[in-house]
């Protein structure tokens, strides 16, 4: 079970990182996640 979770987390991480081709793109992705968390906290 634990091994399966590690594999799923690794694949998810690779998919996320492959979606942003540059460091700038990664920064924008992180900012969007932060904005989403902030907006949900404001509700």
Cβ–Cβ < 8 Å for 29, 22: no
Which region holds residue 22: left if phi is over 0, alpha if psi is between -120 and 50, else beta?
beta
Task: Give the pLDDT mean for 20-40.
Answer: 78
pLDDT at 38: 83
pTM over 0.75: no
pLDDT at 18 > cutoff 80? no
Q: How confident is the model at residue 20 (pLDDT cuts 50, 70, 90)?
A: low
């Amino acid at each position: 079970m634990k091994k399966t979770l590690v594999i799923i987390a690794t694949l998810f991480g690779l998919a996320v990182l492959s979606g942003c081709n540059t460091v700038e793109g990664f920064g924008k992705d992180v900012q969007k996640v932060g904005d989403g968390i902030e907006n949900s906290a404001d509700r």
